[in-house]
């Protein structure tokens, strides 16, 4: 259970760092670039991927798609935290699990039970209730676009990572190393273009923030994988504890540390999000 707690802590800390980035005028894209360089180095040190196994037959299309999506979604994640706060952003990220579930049903033709259908339905209601504000009830505010992109982006990323996990010819950790490497390259190109156009300039504070961001981002992945290994016979326990833990801790941090305001409707949305995760977890147990 300690690995799950550490993974939850690292995940929420990433959101906190993105929240603080605005206060200290951190260049998010620079921090994201250094974040992937840090994750790349840590991936090599901890997982020791066999680079000789990486050849032309590897799923490069998926690697490239992830390399573009990961730095991009980090920017949307930062924008969502900045505009709507940690609470709503964490919920959008956690409820993105519905996209791979829908993909499993419509693309991979997996069987669904009533609990999973109920979980999906409640989850979508939870998303709407979590983001809505009384003054904006009659229209969709512009700021909604950020958590919606976080929801879709992380869902698609999850599907792509699952496809990599199904690629048995190459260890998952080796694929992870390649993805981090390509993601750093993409982020570096973006930073280089922005520096060339004088839209930003390299500053030590951005690099330092990126280093810390990379440590916690990689920590989230490392401890999540260790939790699954330690509780290999109970994957649903890891799944539920991780998602529920992030929603609860993220909500507490947002309300207490950053004084984020939520309406009664938002609180109902949070409770429904928790119910949705529980139902989906139970549906997985029921399917075993």
Mean pLDDT, rounded, for 77-91: 90
Q: How far apart are CA 33 and CA 131, in angstroms?
A: 29
Judge residue 96's burial from the number of C-beta atoms within 10 Å of its C-beta, 0-12 exposed, 13-18 middle, 19 or more buried: buried
Give CA separation, 118 vs 277, 279, 282, in Å. Answer: 10, 7, 11
Size of the chain in residues? 288
171 φ/ψ angles, rounded to the nearest 5 degrees? -60, 145
Mean pLDDT, rounded, for 193-211: 91
Q: From its phi and psi, is residue 278 left (phi > 0), alpha (psi between -120 and 50) or beta?
A: alpha
Do the Cβ atoms of 213 and 204 come closer than 8 Å?
Answer: no
Q: Which sequence spans correspond to the domains of the chain?
A: 2-287
pLDDT grade for 11, boundaries at 50, 70 and 90: very high
Judged against a pLDDT cut of 80, whether residue 285 lies above it is answered with no
Share of the chain above pLDDT 90, in %: 54
Judged against a pLDDT cut of 60, whether residue 3 lies above it is answered with yes
Judged against a pLDDT cut of 70, whether residue 1 lies above it is answered with yes
Judged against a pLDDT cut of 70, whether residue 139 lies above it is answered with no
What rounded mean pLDDT belongs to the chain?
Answer: 88
Do the Cβ atoms of 151 and 127 come closer than 8 Å?
Answer: yes
Q: What is the pLDDT of residues 31-83, one digit of tens each?
A: 999 999 999 999 999 999 988 889 999 999 999 999 999 999 999 999 999 88
Judged against a pLDDT cut of 90, whether residue 184 lies above it is answered with yes
Tokens coding 208: 């330092």
For residue 108, the model assigns a pLDDT of: 66
Would you give the DSSP letter of residue 137?
A: T
Residue of higher predicted confidence among 99 and 235: 99
Q: How far apart are CA 220 and CA 103, in angstroms?
A: 24
Judged against a pLDDT cut of 80, whether residue 255 lies above it is answered with yes
Poorest-confidence range of 60-64, 159-163, 205-209?
159-163
Q: How far apart are CA 250 and CA 245, in angstroms?
A: 8
For residue 137, the model assigns a pLDDT of: 46
Q: How far apart are CA 243 and CA 45, in angstroms?
A: 27
Judged against a pLDDT cut of 90, whether residue 257 lies above it is answered with yes
pLDDT grade for 270, boundaries at 50, 70 and 90: very high
pLDDT grade for 135, boundaries at 50, 70 and 90: low
Residue 88's CB is within 10 A of a number of other CB atoms, namely: 28
For residue 280, the model assigns a pLDDT of: 84
Judged against a pLDDT cut of 90, whether residue 166 lies above it is answered with no
């Amino acid at each position: 259970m300690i690995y799950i707690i550490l993974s939850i802590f690292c995940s929420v800390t990433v959101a906190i760092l993105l929240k603080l980035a605005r206060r200290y005028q951190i260049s998010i894209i620079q921090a994201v670039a250094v974040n992937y360089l840090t994750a790349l180095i840590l991936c090599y040190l901890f997982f020791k991927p066999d680079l000789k196994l990486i050849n032309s037959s590897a799923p490069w299309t998926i690697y490239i798609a992830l390399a573009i999506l990961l730095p991009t979604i980090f920017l949307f994640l930062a924008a969502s935290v900045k505009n709507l706060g940690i609470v709503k952003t964490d919920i959008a990220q956690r409820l993105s699990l519905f996209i791979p579930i829908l993909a499993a049903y419509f693309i991979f033709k997996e069987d669904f039970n009533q609990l999973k259908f109920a979980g999906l339905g409640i989850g979508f209601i939870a998303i709407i209730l979590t983001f809505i504000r009384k003054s904006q009830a009659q229209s969709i505010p512009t700021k909604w676009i950020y958590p919606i992109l976080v929801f879709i982006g992380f869902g698609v990323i999850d599907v792509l990572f699952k496809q990599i996990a199904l690629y048995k010819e190459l260890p998952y950790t080796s694929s992870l190393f390649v993805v981090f490497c390509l993601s750093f390259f993409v982020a570096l190109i973006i930073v280089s273009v922005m520096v060339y156009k004088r839209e930003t300039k390299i500053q030590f504070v951005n690099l330092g923030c990126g280093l810390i961001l990379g440590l916690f981002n990689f920590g989230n992945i490392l401890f999540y994988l260790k939790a699954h290994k330690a509780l290999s016979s109970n994957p649903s326990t890891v799944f539920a504890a991780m998602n529920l833990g992030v929603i609860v801790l993220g909500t507490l941090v947002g309300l207490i540390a950053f004084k984020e305001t939520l309406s009664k409707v938002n609180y109902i949305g949070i409770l429904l999000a928790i119910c949705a995760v529980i139902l989906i977890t139970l549906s997985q147990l029921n399917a075993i």
